[in-house]
Copies of this chain bind each other. A is one copy, B any other.
Amino acid sequence: MIETSARLLALLSLLQMRREWTGTELAARLEVGPRTIRRDVDKLRSLGYPVEAAPGVAGGYRLGNGAELPPLLLDDQEAIAVAVGLRTAAAGQVEGIEENSVRALAKLEQILPTRLRRRVSALSHATSAFQLEGPRIDPDALATLAAACRDAQRVRFSYMTGDQRDTRRLLDPAAVVYSGYRWYLAGFDLDRDAWRTFRLDRITSAVRVEGRGQRRVVPGGDPAAYIQRQIRGRRNGGAGDGAGAEPPPGRIRLHADADTVRPRIPAYYGSVEADGAGYCIATTNGPWNRSFLVWAALLEVELEVLDPTELVDVAQATGTRLSAGASAGRAGG
């Protein structure tokens, strides 16, 4: 009964679109008798989707929230909104759900009709330009890689190593992991016949899917732990492939308690530690960046830019520019 199944889905879709439907309305929409609607409602209930019903003149059917999540039936616009929202969340703009966002995104983009996929890509590129600083990754690449990891598909891309060499890679991807600041890809490099870790923001070409690869599990089994080890080893002078000198973190001392500052710093900017009573030191998660400086300036507390010297210079320059801008405005207006 293909028709029955289709009708059940349609019924679910209708119930998700609007809250209240009378049996007669549903019957008209689905072109069956009201008795069949009642039976279909029973079927939905037996599938675990709680359909509430109220008798009487103000009654009707309504989809409640039960123990399990029914299939989501989205229209085009909604699907685009979901995809774009997931992409920004995955990009680290919404903390704490990055990996789950990527999983959901891989699921959604796999089944997204091509016409919608184009619009999602266009929209998310348009908005991602506003990410002030920090690692900027291509959401298309992220989605593609996540799907490739899940499906054990071989991928090919160009990669900028730490010493600025552009290299070509062919690998069996194993996992995509978010470090709290950056996205990393772990995979088995087929040309080099060894495990490698890549930073997504250093992938310089579109990621091409090459078809079925071999399913690999990172050494140790836990991708997050593996990548943590890799990053740490690299920082301690390990000349790992793709490693490279990266700017040091920025540190700013703030004249305020750590507890008052901490809730006001986005986790992807950095962390805060107390430094005596009434003072604290904020450190960026990754290399120093100007957004961090600006965030600190907006706190409206006195501050000391500790290091690196580049950050001190930028603070000086930005401060001067703002002061000059203020004076110019006063003079002009």
Q: Contact residues of A with B, CB < 8 Å?
A: 1-2, 4-6, 8-9, 12-13, 16-20, 43, 46-47, 49, 58, 63-82, 84-86, 88-89, 93-97, 100-101, 103-104, 107-108, 110-114, 116-117, 123, 126-127, 129-130, 132-133, 147, 150-153, 212, 252-253, 263-266, 290-291, 293-298, 300, 302-307, 309, 311-313, 315-330, 332-333
How many copies of the shown chain assemble into the complex? 2
* Residues on the B chain within 8 Å of A103, using CB: 77-78, 81
Q: Within the assembled complex, what's the spacing in Å between the Cα atoms of A64 and B110?
A: 7
* Main DSSP-derived SS at the A contact region: helix
Contact B316 A326 (CB under 8 A): yes
Given A63-B110, A303-B322, 6 further pairs, Cβ under 8 A: A18-B150, A19-B150, A294-B298, A297-B325, A312-B330, A318-B319
* Residues on the B chain within 8 Å of A153, using CB: 19
The contact of A319 among B68, B101, B290, B322, by CB within 8 Å, is B322
Contact B107 A78 (CB under 8 A): yes
Contact A304 B325 (CB under 8 A): yes
The contact of A72 among B71, B96, B97, by CB within 8 Å, is B71
